[in-house]
Amino acid sequence: MPLNKKLKIPLNFMMYINKRSNITKGVITVITNNETETEKVQPAIITKKDYVLIAISGIVGAIIVWYKIRDIGWVSYLIGCMSGLLIITLSILMIEESNE
């Protein structure tokens, strides 16, 4: 039996308490955050190995997406290829942006 049925607690009340606690935690974090000095991090050198790993993850992601939706027909090939390209593109953009 679910906990909510045993205790008879309305879910709206639980969501209200969760929202209030998150706001309170955020306010405390902002007030107590000490941003006096930040260290400069040396940008990582992007190697060919990084690009190969990104390409492999994109291909594996495309295969997984295709495998999960292969029952819908030829559209599954299109969606799989597009998802693989999206994974590769976003990964390259993220790695190059974090390097700047």
pTM: 0.59
| Residues of the chain with confidence (pLDDT) below 70 | 1-16, 18-19, 34-41, 100
List the one residue out of 77, 83, 89, 6 whose CA is nearest residue 97: 89
Q: Check residue 72 and give its pLDDT.
A: 92
> In the block, which residue shows the tokens 């969606």?
79
CA distance 59 to 88: 8
Q: Check residue 6 and give its pLDDT.
A: 61
> Which tokens is 92 given?
């390259």
Q: Check residue 5 and give its pLDDT.
A: 59
